[in-house]
């Protein structure tokens, strides 16, 4: 699915990531853990090419991302669903329209998918907030809407950055269940989180591997957590 080969990244002078050699196979389920400021978000942004590695190569489905033109990158992003840490919404359109945004920009018919949208909203308990605007949502509601938007195109790879930071444990488990379900359907999932309870809860349901980010590089974590 995604492959890092000697990839490194620095913001200006400060190295954030280096010597990344890593492969996410299709259908895998990964957690990415590490202290605040370690580079989890940076790593995810490398995966969907919001950032380009300062050296080395990132490949998506075997193709080097850096060599592709801008339209190809747009297409790549339709195959990747991202839950951003600071949920990115358009504040002037409704929550429902925001969630359907990936459909709209891909030129798909939003009306035809209304049923999918409704059942997804049900799952994240947002059906009564669908006509609100993003600034009218509570922090947790925003995060759930972001999850819904990430999966609406049923992408092959789902990247979730701290998707449960602002929500209570019951809702966190619901979202985890959703992601596990998608993984069972063959999608790859990568969750960056600092919540070890979530990692433990997932391990009982799916064969999840844990990556630890430390000192600018990413290593599989020891089995025990």
Partner 1 sequence: MVRLPRLFAGDAAAARLVPPGAHSGLTVSMLSAIMAFFAVLVLALALAAGRLADDWGGSLANSGTLQVFGVGEDVEIQARAALNVLRTTPGVQSVRMIGVEEQRALLEPWLGSEAAVDGLPLPLLIEVVTDPMRLNVDSLRLRLEGEAPEAVYDDHSGLRASLVLTAQRLKVFAYLCLALIVIALAAVLGLAAQAAVAANTQVIRTLRIVGARDRYIVNAFRRRFVMRALGGSALGAAFGLGLIGVLPQASEPGFFLIGIGPVGWNWAAPILVPPVAGIIAWTATGWAVRRRLVRQA
Ligand X SMILES: Nc1ncnc2c1ncn2[C@@H]1O[C@H](COP(=O)(O)OP(=O)(O)OP(=O)(O)O)[C@@H](O)[C@H]1O
Among 170, 185, 204, 222, binds a second copy (CB under 8 A): 170
User: Per CB under 8 A, does 91 bind partner 1?
Assistant: yes
User: Per CB under 6 A, does 107 bind ligand X?
Assistant: no
SS3 label, residue 38: coil
Among 18, 140, 173, 209, binds ligand X (CB under 6 A): 140
User: Per CB under 8 A, does 112 bind partner 1?
Assistant: no
Distance, in Å, from the CA atom of 210 to the CA atom of 46, rounded to the nearest integer, reads 19
Please state, as a whole number, how many other Cβ atoms lie within 10 Å of the Cβ of residue 97.
Answer: 18
CB-count exposure of residue 192 (10 Å: 0-12, 13-18, 19+): buried
- How does strand 2-11 pair with strand 80-83? unpaired
Structural element, H or E, at residue 21: strand 14-24
User: Per CB under 8 A, does 225 bind a second copy?
Assistant: no
Q: Which is nearer to ligand X, 97 or 141 (CB)?
A: 141
Q: Which is nearer to ligand X, 116 or 195 (CB)?
A: 195
Q: How far is the CB of 165 from ligand X (least distance, A)?
A: 9
Q: Would you tell me the crossing angle of helices 169-184 and 139-151 to the nearest 10 degrees? A: 0
Q: How far is the CB of 190 from a second copy (least distance, A)?
A: 16
Q: How far is the CB of 108 from a second copy (least distance, A)?
A: 30
SS (H, E, C) 102-170: HHHHCCCCCHHHHHHHHHHHHHCCCHHHCCCCHHHCCHHHHHHHHHHHHHCCCCCEEEEECCCCCCCHH
List binders of a second copy among 124-143 (CB under 8 A): 136, 138-141
Nearest C-alpha neighbor of 151 from the set 199, 191, 111: 191
Structure tokens at 222: 């020891």
List binders of partner 1 among 49-68 (CB under 8 A): 49-52
42: partner contacted, choices partner 1, ligand X, Mg ion, none (Cβ within 5-8 A by kind): ligand X
User: Per CB under 5 A, does 41 bind Mg ion?
Assistant: yes
User: Per CB under 6 A, does 169 bind ligand X?
Assistant: no
Residues making contact with partner 1 (CB under 8 A): 48-52, 70-71, 73-78, 82, 84, 88-93, 101-102, 104-106, 149, 153
């Amino acid at each position: 699915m995604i492959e890092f080969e000697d990839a490194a990244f620095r913001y200006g002078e400060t190295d954030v990531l280096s010597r990344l050699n890593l492969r996410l196979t299709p259908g895998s389920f990964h957690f990415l853990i590490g202290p605040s400021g370690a580079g989890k978000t940076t790593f995810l942004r490398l995966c969907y090419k919001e950032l380009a590695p300062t050296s080395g190569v990132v490949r998506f489905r075997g193709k080097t991302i850096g060599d592709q033109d801008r339209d190809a990158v747009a297409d790549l992003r339709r195959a990747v669903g991202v839950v951003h840490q600071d949920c990115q919404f358009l504040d002037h359109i409704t929550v429902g329209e925001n969630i359907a945004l990936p459909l709209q920009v891909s030129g798909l018919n939003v009306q035809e998918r209304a049923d999918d949208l409704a059942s997804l909203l049900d799952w994240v308990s947002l059906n009564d907030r669908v006509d609100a605007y993003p600034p009218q949502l509570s922090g947790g509601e925003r995060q759930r809407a972001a999850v819904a938007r990430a999966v609406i195109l049923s992408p092959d790879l789902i990247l979730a950055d701290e998707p449960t930071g602002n929500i209570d444990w019951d809702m966190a488990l619901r979202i985890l269940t959703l992601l596990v379900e998608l993984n069972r359907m063959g999608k790859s999932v990568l969750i960056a989180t600092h919540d070890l309870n979530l990692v433990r809860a997932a391990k009982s349901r799916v064969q999840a591997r844990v990556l630890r980010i430390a000192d600018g590089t990413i290593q599989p974590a020891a089995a025990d957590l």
